Structure 1
Amino acid sequence: MTDPAVKQRLHDVYAMKDLVYPMGAPGEPASGLLGRAAPDLLLDRSGPGGSAVRLAALQRTGRAVLLRTPAHGEPTSAAQGWRDRVDTVTVEALPAEAAGALLIRPDGYVAWTAATGPGPLTAALHRWFGEPVPAEADEAPGLVLSRCGGGLERP
């Protein structure tokens, strides 16, 4: 096995990266990154104090990640209702297939790209993360892990 293409293909099959989930409209074939495992990208975060971070590091929280470039502000406002379940991160650049924004499920699969338009983002958020939090609702403290006993407690 000296052929790099064969090695990569076997790695992808073993890591289940060849698996493609139907994420678009029913009967619509997957295209680009949609429905596929997100590549572990090295991302440059925008803004003051921005630094390079791997996508895998952003996914360690077990929450969905919405990546967007500064030129794509619409996804941030559309995802506000899911701020308790989706982390929005602004990055300098994304792969061309992302078209400026990506929604990545907690399992690492791409649920939406900006190439599908802003409307389907709301549909993808509803499909994978339920109903949005009302805009007027304050963020109520939830359950947290206690550092001492490992049990759940209210802050």
Structure 2
Amino acid sequence: MAINTDAPRATGALGESAALQSSDFGETQKLLDISTQELKGELNHKPDNDSVRSLQTDQNEDNAEKVGTGPLSPSRASFSRASSPTPGEPEPHSFIWLAVISCFCPAVPINVFALYFAHMARSMIQAKDYDGGKRLGRLSLLLSVVSIFVGLAIVLYLIITGF
């Protein structure tokens, strides 16, 4: 926007140039009118039916693919609440009592992991994730039994060698 330098300068009460106010206001108003008309035109623009239909079919195909393929075990994918036991089936066990007993054996790293997995299994069972609780409970059971056998082997070795 160019400034009109040929126009006489008249100053108002605040010291503003009256020539600039009158010429700039008209040009600014024209620009604002054009931009508001364009904005109204964009807001009133309706999308064509073909693009809406293609978008809906793409979304439906994506949803169908997501429903059809999923992880085999939901507890392995996340810690979400996946399943519930059947009415005749009891809740899975966390085997925390066995993990605590295995802590008295000298197989230190194994029994600590067994205790950790037993605690995680118990937490998952309380959160109603029975598949994850069952899986971690079995892992805790396995680590507890291995810890007990390794601990007994270490104790027998120390007794036999007389250390």
TM-score normalised over the length of structure 2: 0.21
Rg larger for: 2
Quick check: which one's helix share is greater? 2
Quick check: which one's strand share is greater? 1
